[in-house]
Structure 1
Amino acid sequence: MANLKEVKERINSVSSTQQITKAMKMVAAAKLRRAQEKIVQMRPYSQKLTSILNNISSGAEGVADIVYAQERSVSNLLVIPITSDKGLCGAFNSNVIKATNAVFLENPDKKITVMPVGKKAMDFFKKQNFPLVSDYAGLFEKIAFQPIKEAAEFVMESFVGGEFDQVILVYNQFKNVATQVVVKEQFLPISKLDADGEENKAQQDYIVEPSRDYIIEELVPNSLKIQFYKAILDSNASEHGARMTAMSKATDNAGDLLKDLKLVYNRTRQAAITNEILEIVAGANALEGK
Structure 2
Amino acid sequence: MANLKEVRIRIASVQSTQQITKAMKMVSAAKLKRATNAIVQLRPYATKLKEILGNLSASLEGGSSPFIEEREPNKVLIVVVSSNRGLAGAFNMNVIKTANNLIAEKYSEQLKKGNVSIVAIGKKSQDFYEKRNYKVIGNNNEIYAALTFENVTKITEAIMTGFEQGEFDRVEVVYNQFKNAAVQILTSEQLLPLPKAVVNLEAKATNVEYILEPNQEEIVKELIPKSIKTQLYKAVLDSHASEHGARMTSMDKATENAGDLLKALKLAYNQARQAAITTELTEIVSGAAALNG
Q: Structure 2: which 5+ runs fail to align?
A: none
One-letter amino acid of the structure 1 residue matched with residue 101 of structure 2:
A
The CA deviation at 1:59 is 2.5
* Preserved CA contact (<8 Å) 2:54 2:201: no
* Residue 40 (str. 1) matches residue 72 (str. 2): no
> Residue 150 of structure 2: which of 146, 153, 156 is its match?
146
Q: Structure 1: which 5+ runs fail to align?
A: none
The CA deviation at 1:2 is 7.8
CA distance in 2, matches of 1:32, 1:47: 22
Deviations 1:187-235 (A, max 9, x none): 000011254343x1x2443333221101011111111111111111111
The CA deviation at 1:129 is 2.5
CA distance in 1, matches of 2:196, 2:34: 34
* Residue 271 (str. 1) matches residue 266 (str. 2): no
Correspondence for 2:221: 217
Q: RMSD across aligned C-alpha pairs, in angstroms?
A: 1.4
Name the SS for the 2:109 alignment partner: coil
The CA deviation at 1:275 is 0.4
Give aligned-pair identity as a percent: 50
Correspondence for 1:11: 11
Name the SS for the 1:180 alignment partner: strand
Correspondence for 1:196: 202
Matches within 5 A, 1:80-229: 80-106=79-105, 107-110=107-110, 111-193=115-197, 195-198=201-204, 200=205, 202-229=206-233
Name the SS for the 1:237 alignment partner: helix
One-letter amino acid of the structure 1 residue matched with residue 170 of structure 2:
Q
* Preserved CA contact (<8 Å) 1:86 1:119: yes
Correspondence for 1:51: 51
One-letter amino acid of the structure 1 residue matched with residue 59 of structure 2:
G
Worse-superposed segment, 1-10 or 78-87: 1-10
Worse-superposed segment, 125-134 or 266-275: 125-134
* Preserved CA contact (<8 Å) 1:59 1:204: no
Give the 3 Å change call, closer, same or farther, for CA 15–275 of structure 1 in structure 2.
same
* Preserved CA contact (<8 Å) 2:58 2:202: no
Name the SS for the 1:138 alignment partner: helix
Structure having the larger proportion of residues in helix = 2
How many correspondences in the alignment? 286
> Residue 286 of structure 2: which of 282, 285, 288 is its match?
282
One-letter amino acid of the structure 1 residue matched with residue 269 of structure 2:
Y
Name the SS for the 1:109 alignment partner: helix
* Preserved CA contact (<8 Å) 1:2 1:268: no
Deviations 1:84-114 (A, max 9, x none): 0000001110101100110120211111001
Deviations 1:38-89 (A, max 9, x none): 00001100111112112222222x2332110000111100001000000000
In the superposition, the TM-score normalised over structure 1's length comes to: 0.95
In the superposition, the TM-score normalised over structure 2's length comes to: 0.94
